[in-house]
Amino acid sequence: MSFQEHEKLHIEKNVKRELTSTELQILAAEWSEHCSYKSSKMHLRMLPTTGPNVIVEKGYDSGVLDVGDGYVVTVHIESHNHPSAVEPFGGAATGVGGVIRDILSAGTRPIALFDGLRFGDIENDAHARWLFKNAVSGIADYGNCLGIPTIGGEVEFDTCYTNYALVDVAAVGFGKKSKLIKNHANIDDLVLLIGGSTGRDGVGGSQFASDALEGEDRSAVQIPDPFIEKLIIEAILECRDENCINAMKDLGGGGLSCAISETAESLGIGIELDVKNVHLRESDLSPDEIMISESQERMLVISSPDNLSKIEKICDKFRIQCSVIGKVKEDKMMHVKNGNDTLALLPADFVARGPLIDRPKSKPEYLSQLPSSLPSENQLPLSEILLKLLSSPNIASKHWVFRQYDHEVGIRTIIKPGFDASVLRLDNGKFLSAKIDGNPKHCYLDPRQGAIGCFEEACRNIVCQGTNPIGMVDHLQFGNPEDPEIFWTFMESLEGLAEYAKFLRIPCVGGKVSFYNETSSGPIKPTPLIGVLGISSTPFLSSHPNNGDYLIIIGNTCDELGGSEYFEYIEKFTGGICPVVDFKDSKSNMLAVLSLIKNKHVKSVHDCSKGGLSIALSELGIFGNIGCDIDIEKVPSKKKLGSDEILFSESHSRYLLVINKKNIDSAKKFLNRKKISFAILGKFSGDQINIRRKSKNLAKFKINLAQKRYFNGLGDLLKHG
Amino acid sequence: MKVGVIVFPGSNCDRDMHHVLTDVFNLNAEFYWHEKNLPSDIDAVVLPGGFSYGDRLRAGVIAAHSPIISDVKKLSEKGIPILGVCNGFQILVESGLLPGVLLKNESLNFMCEWTNLIVNNNKTPFTNKLELNQKIPIPIANGEGRYFVDDETLSQLKKNNQIVFSYENKVNGSVSQIAGVCNSDGNVVGMMPHPERAAEKAINQIDHKPSSLIFESLVETVGMKN
């Protein structure tokens, strides 16, 4: 625990006395990067956060979107990287637990989970395999037990995560607008701590997360208990239905210190609490430990004294503990007592608003040293390259992962995981889709374009399901922000995201910043992760291609092989030009696809992304169990491209459409009228994928072979440890 | 006509089951918290899926000692139709209302996927509208779903026609690919797959009709009685 110079000055200026040890502990937790966002807060304001559907309320830990008919959807994203790198099962599980409580604290029921998992090279690194398997088990164990379906996410492997893990978890909630908790408090209201007992696990967790991972401090990793979490969810929702809750906050990073100071600050109140009243797991916990323990499955609730007996009765029904730990005061102070002794007495806003830092930034050296083109051409036949890509860990089906997650519970999942985005039905008859996307390989080459690309890709996936993007959450994961070069990559990504969000008018309704993601061999690649929510009033039940159906590509392909799976996985080459999103094309292509879906012109739509056109069209054949005959000469582009560029470039704003013969003319007419770049590439038929350029055959392989590679690629790797 | 849906601490398919019983099949279903009593005039009881008591010790074993189970036992003796799905099946087995035991899946992993069931007994209150050997596309979602009985019990089950459903393919290593069984009277049925996740067109794009027939069988059974 140490303060930086400017923080010491800030303390001296505002507190004209020596701080007590408890106060020091509280400030160290609350002013950690993890809790205070001291490096990023002043910059995050550039993201647009308002829109016609956004409901803003003080003290919400999740974004709230109005989806009509008196219903709201809530969304939040978190990561649990440091803990998962040390103890993957518990780290990943408690990551799920934390984000669920953020959804709960708005008064909504969690209805879906998503996880983004990133590890080292699992093909050659047994430790990475161990981390991956256990993180998946941790998420499965926790989410399944709660009965919240895990319906999507992504898995990616890159050597920049060697000996490390990125575990991102997003959750979506649903509820009646009238039942949202309208965070407020009256003087003499009671401050309650509901749920699990406070123990020594997770003491100092937020500081642990605000530093490079050096030791394996397992005591800083929290212990998961999904059963208690399930009981808390049901108990809190019953309390909500009984109108017993005035304000509520999840206990996460920084434990009680953070929850108390931030609640007091956001509601403009004072809170006096007595650590003697906190229910403990270990009787010899010191007051300081109680204040910064990050034990899981705890909620802070403010209620009026009249409602206490109702809350106690509900907690008793579920056999969960409820302690009155303090009360609301007028003085706007955070007052921590141990019986009659005062341990800490500081203004809540002083604690909650740590001094911010305007960090210097400079363009990283490495960017000017990246090679621009491949030193030598690959000699492998294209069919082999394609089959190799189909079974590669980043592209192969993630069936091995999502079959361990209950993705059906809640009986909302209309479109199941495995293809573009999943779709849930909502009680008001509407349909919600959600997707998270990241791309560290692109972001490494160009943090700005890479981040915009992740955002666009998530939108594309949403659009492929016929839903309109209505909101986004971002999770910005970088190395040590004190390094100006890393801070530059953060700022580039953030600026790019803000620019694209403003252009598309998609509000950012939540997010998180995670710095100090450093491994023993240096910082991770910039890994911004974007989650997008979409909504529609009719479901788009796509169907697989049949014999004679046409394949259309929408959007331009460019010479953008930089960061592609082809360069990185096949050629082991890092460099070249990363795909750039053309904002105008992005928007017009999205609107065109949505119109075609709405007018029932298409059977199915598939996003063209990782692996490029060749992988996207193979996936259509694989899922439809049908071959196709494709001429890539016609692929729209602004200049003449090599076949490898056409097949493997990961250019954005591209969609593959499967169209029945009877609709092909009207679809063509529509796309021409809208001046969309598109081409008919060929037709589906037979049992093999045949790719040619005019009359020259490029690749040819049986669909059943492709299926074998695609569906078994990941599972085979994990079979033997 | 009343159907009770029992809620244990950790049940998580209770609301799904209630929705299907009431909104899809127009049954009058009510939740019963595990510490409450079941009314003696109830027409059917469903034990939904989930993770009662967090699957601690062994799936279903703690819930099998909940106060409400003694009421379930009394009702079963009266011939009232009782259905246990997934964790509900595990609880029925642990409480001795059904034979056998449910072990960890052969893969040692939680498995959530769609599979086909075959109807082996269409004389129970939950299968009387299904055809023998009819296929039911349905999802499973469990970690401990591998049904096991010793050879002697297995031959008894076969003799008494107590195997209600079996998997079309090898799914999890269950003895004789058993997916669901009933008691010797046939009124208590337990199954690992989730019919409530397959009985609506919107969430079952393969074919929702076979799973619907499980609920329609119940409607017919309790309807006839009234």
User: Strand pairing partners for A508?
Assistant: A472
User: Do residues A38 and A213 lie in contact, with contact meaning Cβ atoms separated by under 8 Å?
Assistant: no
- 3-state secondary structure (DSSP) of residue A287: helix
The answer to whether the CB atoms of A144 and B202 lie below 8 A apart is no
A373: pLDDT confidence band, cut at 50, 70 and 90?
A: confident
For chains A and B, count residue pairs whose Cβ atoms are closer than 8 Å: 81
Nearest to A48 by CA among A647, A492, A384, A502: A502
Cα-based angle A34, A155, A386 (whole degrees, multiple of 5): 145
A715 interfaces chain B, CB cutoff of 8 Å:
no
Classify residue A659 as exposed, middle or buried by CB count within 10 Å of its CB (0-12, 13-18, 19+): buried
- pLDDT score at A721: 63
**A51-65, A164-178, A295-309, B182-196: segment of lowest average pLDDT:** A51-65
ipTM for this prediction: 0.95
Angle, CA A243 vertex, CA A242 and CA A247 arms, to 5°: 135
Residue A720: pLDDT above 80?
Answer: no
pLDDT single digits (tens) B33-74: 999 999 999 999 999 999 999 999 999 999 999 999 999 999
B96 touches chain A (CB under 8 A): no
> Which residues in A lie closer than 8 A to residue B110 (C-beta atoms)?
140-141, 144, 404-406
Whole-number Cα distances in Å, A609 to A288, A422, A614: 50, 17, 10
Please give the pLDDT value at position B224.
59
Measured CA to CA, the distance from residue A535 to residue B142 in angstroms comes to 30
* pLDDT, tens digit, 9 for 90 and up, residues A315-370: 999 999 999 999 999 999 999 999 999 999 999 999 999 999 999 999 999 999 99
Q: Identify the residue among A400, A405, A407, A409 best suited for mutation to test binding to B, counting B beta carbons within 10 A and taking the highest.
A: A409
When pLDDT is cut at 50, 70 and 90, the band that residue A222 belongs to is confident
* A424 — pLDDT class (breaks 50, 70, 90): very high
Q: Would an 8 Å CB–CB cutoff place A407 in contact with chain B?
A: yes
Q: Calculate what percentage of chain A has a pLDDT beyond 90.
A: 88
Nearest CA distance, B16 vs chain A (angstrom): 6
For residue A252, the model assigns a pLDDT of: 86
Q: What average pLDDT score do residues A279-307 get? A: 93
Cβ-nearest to A140 among B33, B110, B196: B110
| A204 lies within 8 A of chain B by CB | no
- Contact assignment for A147 to B53 by CB distance below 8 Å: no
Nearest CB to A403 within list B10, B112, B205: B112
User: How far does the CA of residue B160 sit from the closest CA of chain A (Å)?
Assistant: 33
pLDDT of residue A13 exceeding 70: yes
CA atoms of B47 and B13, how far apart (whole Å) = 9
Distance from CA of B187 to the nearest CA of A (A): 26
Q: Nearest Cβ partner of B9 from A319, A410, A411?
A: A319
Please judge whether A411 and B12 are an interchain contact, meaning their C-beta atoms are less than 8 angstroms apart: no
Closest-CA residue of chain B to A151:
B112
Cβ neighbours of residue A524 closer than 8 Å, sequence gap 6 or more: A160, A161, A164, A166, A440, A477, A478, A479, A517, A518
Closest residue in B to A543 (Cα) is B205
Q: Do A411 and B197 touch (CB under 8 A)?
A: yes
Put simply, whether B9 touches A (Cβ < 8 Å) is: yes
Q: Please determine, for residue A214, whether its predicted confidence score (pLDDT) is greater than 70.
A: no
Interface contact flag, A227 B50, Cβ < 8 Å: no
Residues of B taking part in catalysis: 86, 194, 196
- At residue A201 the predicted structure's pLDDT band, cuts being 50, 70 and 90, is confident
pLDDT in tens, B118-153: 999 999 999 999 999 999 999 999 999 999 999 999
Evaluate if residue A202 carries a pLDDT over 90: no
Tell me the average pLDDT across A417-426: 92
Please tell me which residue of chain A has the smallest CA distance to B199. A411
With contacts defined as CB-CB under 8 Å, which chain A residues touch B202? 414, 425, 539
Closest Cα partner for B89 from B81, B76, B99? Answer: B99
Q: Give dist(CA A595, CA A591) in Å, integer.
A: 6
Look over chain A and give the mean of its residue pLDDT values, rounded to a whole number: 94
Residue A216 has pLDDT above 60, yes or no: no
Read off the pLDDT of each residue in A85-102 and give the average, rounded to a whole number: 92
Q: Which residue has the tokens 């189970």?
A: B69
Question: What band does A217 get if pLDDT is binned at 50, 70 and 90?
Answer: low
- Phi, then psi, of A458 in degrees rounded to 5: -60, -40
Instruction: Decide if B10 and A413 are in contact by the 8 Å CB cutoff.
Output: no
Q: Which residue has the tokens 């009421």?
A: B71
Specify the pLDDT at position B117.
98
pLDDT band at A209 (very low <50, low <70, confident <90, very high): low
Task: Say whether A144 and B110 touch across the interface (CB within 8 A).
Answer: yes
List the structure tokens of A174: 């649903």
Q: Which residues of A touch B16 (CB under 8 A)?
A: 409-411
| pLDDT score, position A380 | 87
Q: Pick the closest to residue A468 from A504, A443, A493, A494 (CA basis).
A: A504
**pLDDT-based confidence at residue A282 (cuts at 50, 70, 90):** confident
Chain B residue with minimal CA distance to A233? Answer: B10
Q: Are the Cβ atoms of B202 and A414 closer than 8 angstroms?
A: yes
| pLDDT at residue B173, rounded to an integer | 96
- For the stretch A651-702, pLDDT in tens is 999 999 999 999 999 999 999 999 999 999 999 999 999 999 999 999 999 9
Q: How confident is the model at residue B4 (pLDDT cuts 50, 70, 90)?
A: very high
Say how far apart CA B2 and CA B4 lie, in whole Å.
Answer: 7
Asked which of A13-22, A184-193, A657-666 is least confident by mean pLDDT, the reply is A13-22
Domain B2-224: which CATH number of 3.40.50.880, 3.40.50.1100, 3.30.56.10, 3.30.420.10: 3.40.50.880
B205 vs A: CB within 8 A: yes
Residue A34, pLDDT score: 87
In one letter, which amino acid is A616? A
Contact A350, A27 (CB under 8 A): no
Q: Is A411 close to B50, i.e. CB distance below 8 A?
A: no
Active-site residue flag, A184: no
Q: Select the residue from B138, B203, B205 to test the A interface by mutation, using most A Cβ atoms within 10 A.
A: B203
CA distance B211 to B218: 12
In chain B, which among 130-169 make CB contacts under 8 A with chain A? 139, 141, 143
Contacts of A404 in chain B (CB under 8 A): 109-112
Q: Is B197 on the interface with A (CB under 8 A)?
A: yes
Q: Residue A541 — very low, low, confident or very high, per pLDDT cuts 50/70/90? A: confident
The DSSP string of A74-85 is EEEEEE-HHHHH
Residue A218 has pLDDT above 60, yes or no: no
Minimal Cα–Cα distance from A296 to chain B, Å? 16
What's the gap in Å between the CA of A127 and the closest CA on chain B?
A: 20
Q: Do A230 and B113 touch (CB under 8 A)?
A: no
Task: Give chain B positions within 8 Å (CB) of A137.
Answer: 109
Which of these is catalytic: A43, A80, A82, A601? A80
Lowest mean pLDDT among A218-227, A282-291, A408-417, A639-648: A218-227
Average pLDDT for residues A564-585, to the nearest whole number?
96
Between chains, do B51 and A318 touch, taking CB under 8 Å as contact?
Answer: no
Q: Is the dihedral of CA A58, A59, A62, A67 positive or negative?
A: negative
pLDDT of B226 > 60? The answer is no
Mean pLDDT across chain B: 96
Residue A1's pLDDT band, with cuts at 50, 70 and 90, is low
Q: Residue B90: list chain A partners with CB under 8 A.
A: none
- Condensed to tens digits (0 to 9), the pLDDT of residues A52-63 reads 999 988 878 889
CA distance A345 to chain B (A): 40
Q: Could B9 and A412 be called an inter-chain contact, meaning their C-beta atoms sit closer than 8 Å? A: no
A404 near B CB under 8 A: yes
Which tokens belong to A113?
């989970």
**Chain B closest CA to A161's CA: distance in Å?**
26
pLDDT above 80 for A567: yes
A539–chain B Cβ distance below 8 A for any pair: yes
Query: B23 to chain A: nearest residue by CA?
Result: A427
Q: Classify the phi-psi angles of A675: left when phi > 0, otherwise alpha if psi is within -120 to 50, otherwise beta.
A: left
**Sign of the alpha-carbon torsion through A706, A710, A712, A713:** positive
Say which residue, A202 or A73, is predicted with more confidence. A73
Q: Does B71 touch chain A (CB under 8 A)?
A: no
Which whole number is the average pLDDT over B176-204?
Answer: 97
Contacts of B111 in chain A (CB under 8 A): 403-404
Give the residue-averaged pLDDT of A292-305.
Answer: 94
